Amino acid sequence: MGKRYIATAALALFLSGQVHAADLGSAAPEASVFRPWYIHVGAMGVIFDEGASITLGGTPVPGVSATADDNFTVGFEVGYRFTPNIAVSFTAGFPPSTTLTGTGPLAGIDLGRVTYGPAVLSAHYHFTNFGPLFQPYLGAGVNYTLVWNEKDRAVRDLKVDNAFGFVLQAGIESDISEHWGSFVDVKKIFLTTDATGLVGGVPATADIDLNPWILMGGVTYRF
């Protein structure tokens, strides 16, 4: 399911660029005062590329893993351009909740539910030589995922650690007017966390690779 979302998002990113560059080329806004601050607001999708290794009572359980439900929420990004090409930004979203489900011998079992808040600090380079309606960019940064709440299911006393991760980023911006524009953005987060709890009274630990794709698109405001 996650790969289908990723392919769809990549296609949308490409088509968006083609529309802005070709169909709207004649409506490009004239050059104006450089406005370093900007805000992105829009829909955000969190698509997990997950896996887990689980132990019970200190013994690894072969063939057991876990999946995490993909999430959709509202995201925002605040950025500052030092020059027209070099910028930094902070990205976050309204905290969504995901359900952890077992696979293998635990297939279909609801292990627990986690509410989390992903946050990304990144730096990026913007390519401005294509005109204001088609400005692709590439970047990299760090993620900190804060776990707000855990709810027990099959796993009792569930605890999931906050975690840091490395981020790669790409996107396209389009300036429609002096202040307003649109954007699409894709981030890949390389994220691993640890979880603990009790399964049938037996201590359980899990090393979970989440590695989510963060897909976002919406409106830009510059000031």
Residue 26, pLDDT > 50, answer no
pLDDT score, position 119: 95
203 or 32: which carries more pLDDT confidence? 203
Nearest one of 142, 140, 138, 141 to 125, comparing CA atoms: 138
CA distance 146 to 88: 21
pLDDT value at position 22? 42
Q: Residue 19 pLDDT more than 90?
A: no
The domains found in the chain, sorted by start residue, are 2-29+36-222 (2.40.160.20)
At 6, is the secondary structure helix, strand, or coil?
helix
* pLDDT at residue 200, rounded to an integer: 86
Residue of 177 and 26 predicted with greater confidence = 177
Helix (H, G, I), strand (E, B) or coil at 130: coil
- Amino acid at site 51: G
Give the whole-number percent of the chain exceeding pLDDT 70: 86
Is it the case that residue 117 has pLDDT exceeding 50? Answer: yes
* 105 or 24, which is more confident: 105
- The structure's pTM equals 0.83
- Rounded CA separation 55/59 (Å): 5
**Residue 17 pLDDT greater than 50, yes or no:** no
Band (32; pLDDT cuts 50, 70, 90): low
Coil, strand or helix: which one is 195? strand
The confidence band for 18, taking pLDDT boundaries of 50, 70 and 90, is very low
Please say if the pLDDT value at position 197 is more than 70.
Answer: yes
User: What is the spatial distance between Cα 46 and Cα 69, in angstroms, rounded to a whole number?
Assistant: 9
* 3-state SS assignment for residue 5: helix
Provide the mean pLDDT of the chain: 88
Tens digits of per-residue pLDDT, 97-107?
Answer: 999 999 988 89
